[in-house]
Amino acid sequence: MNASEMLALDRAHVFHPYSTFINPPPVFPVKSARGVRLTLTDGRELIDGMSSWWSVIHGYSEPSINAALHEQIEQLSHVMFGGLTHEPAVRLAQRLVELTPAGLESVFFADSGSVSVEVAIKMALQYQQARGQAGRQRLLTVRGGYHGDTFGAMAVCDPVTGMHSLFTGSLSQQLFAPRPGIRFDGAWNPADIADLAALLAAHASEIAAVIVEPIVQGAGGMWFYHPQWLRELRALCDQHGVLLIADEIATGFGRSGQLFACEHSGIAPDILCLGKALTGGYMTLAATLSTREVAETISRGDPGVFMHGPTFMANPLACRAALASIDLLLANDWQSQVRRIECGLGQGLAPARALPQVADVRVLGAIGVLELHKPVDMRTIPQAFVSRGVWVRPFGRLVYVMPAFVMNDADLATLCAAMVEVVSTLP
């Protein structure tokens, strides 16, 4: 179909994420994608600053991942994981155990990041019940967090500034401490975690786990906080017999400058959620890792099994894509790639500090953020970026990018210049 037909049918029948079905904002039809460029059906090329919601770390149509998927689809495209297993899943589990922080030895595959958070929450609840702590039914987290769009995940997103306040009456009521306030490179002050410590002490008998996004709060605010805060949290969880869940769906696989953001603090969680870049952006796949102690305690408790089982868990194609993506990441000197992106973002976004529209400029790893004083107009700002040959999708007061690690310096400079220019035209 031609572009006009596609857009007409899209408008008639397709409900886009965080959008309206009545008079929706414009969408831009993509014909193909290669490297860091999206080609629209009208022939225009856009430099992609979003990595398709932070997942396409190697760029689009990467030959080595393409080849792995072509080979895998001829062998085994899917099989149920109940009572069966296959080599891509087993190999991927082994790789994840090897790469993630020490002590994580059990791998549960899921469909998406939100589902991996649901799995983590259920693991924490089953774990506490199995160890005779059935009263521990609540989660503690911090303001400004985002963990997904399913019900358990929504319940631990920020209840006020997050995207799910409409569902407040239907969600489990969890506990929220102030978000970490000290910047990643700031001077540490123990008072920054005092409120959380007090809340945890007061409600320890009710709390099964603390869940946080390590170092980088993503869709809840793009905030980068001090590594010592996470070290203090790890100690507090140990003190009170509470599990620590690290949501690294956005930060895993090098995005923050470490392979996993927990490594900035030198800590290991009890449960770790992964997704997004796990497959290099090729297919939906997530994983929830836990310590052997968590997995074995769940297995010893009633009913003796972990109560979750997605139909498409451990899909062989997705697992094979993840293996190829991890191999490529480790072969490509990703640390140098991310340091180069960080330097380019720092230089390219620096002029925005002088703009009256801008409240803050933040860069960490391959993440660049312009925080504005006022929310953007999502009906007009995407077109402003497209007209400049780049794809940037802001939200709220945040204009941000998470480019693919392979983006060259010239494209990165173009992307940053477009961000500064577009923001400078805002009221």
Identify whether 247 is a catalytic site residue.
yes
Q: Which pLDDT score, from 0 to 100, does residue 86 have?
A: 98
Whether residue 162 is predicted with pLDDT greater than 80 in this model: the reply is: no
* Least confident piece of the model among 122-126, 170-174, 198-202, 399-403: 170-174
Q: Which pLDDT score, from 0 to 100, does residue 349 have?
A: 98
Which residue among 48, 192, 247, 411 is the active-site one? 247
Q: Which pLDDT score, from 0 to 100, does residue 213 have?
A: 98
Identify whether 276 is a catalytic site residue.
yes
Identify whether 18 is a catalytic site residue.
yes
What is the average pLDDT across 166-183?
Answer: 93
Whether residue 83 is predicted with pLDDT greater than 80 in this model: the reply is: yes
Tell me whether domains 3-58+334-424 and 65-331 share a fold.
Answer: no
Q: 357: closest CA among 324, 408, 396, 397?
A: 397
List, for residues 344-361, the tens digit of each pLDDT value: 999 999 999 999 999 999
Give me the amino acid identity at 185.
D
Give domain limits for the chain.
3-58+334-424, 65-331
Q: 422: closest CA among 414, 402, 54?
A: 414
Reported confidence tier of residue 164, pLDDT bands at 50, 70, 90: confident
Task: Say which CATH topology domain 65-331 has.
Answer: Aspartate Aminotransferase; domain 2 (3.40.640)
Reported confidence tier of residue 7, pLDDT bands at 50, 70, 90: very high
Identify whether 146 is a catalytic site residue.
yes
Which residue among 18, 42, 185, 302 is the active-site one? 18
Q: Which pLDDT score, from 0 to 100, does residue 264 have?
A: 98
- Please state, in angstroms and rounded to a whole number, the distance separating the CA atoms of residues 412 and 59: 13
Which residue among 146, 225, 282, 400 is the active-site one? 146
Ramachandran quadrant class, 43 (left: phi over 0; alpha: psi -120 to 50; beta: rest): left
pTM for this prediction: 0.97
List, for residues 326-348, the tens digit of each pLDDT value: 999 999 999 999 999 999 999 99
Structure-block tokens of residue 131 = 């160890």
Q: Which pLDDT score, from 0 to 100, does residue 408 have?
A: 98
Peptide bond into 316 cis (omega under 30): no
List, for residues 114-155, the tens digit of each pLDDT value: 999 999 999 999 999 999 999 999 999 999 999 999 999 999
Q: 109: closest CA among 85, 126, 127, 77?
A: 85
Task: Say which CATH topology domain 3-58+334-424 has.
Answer: Aspartate Aminotransferase, domain 1 (3.90.1150)
Which residue among 60, 127, 276, 282 is the active-site one? 276
Residues 6+ apart with CB under 8 A from 164: 149, 154, 157, 171
Q: What is the mean pLDDT of the chain?
A: 97
User: What 3-state DSSP class applies to 105?
Assistant: strand
List, for residues 241-299, the tens digit of each pLDDT value: 999 999 999 999 999 999 999 999 999 999 999 999 999 999 999 999 999 999 999 99
Q: Which pLDDT score, from 0 to 100, does residue 169 have?
A: 85
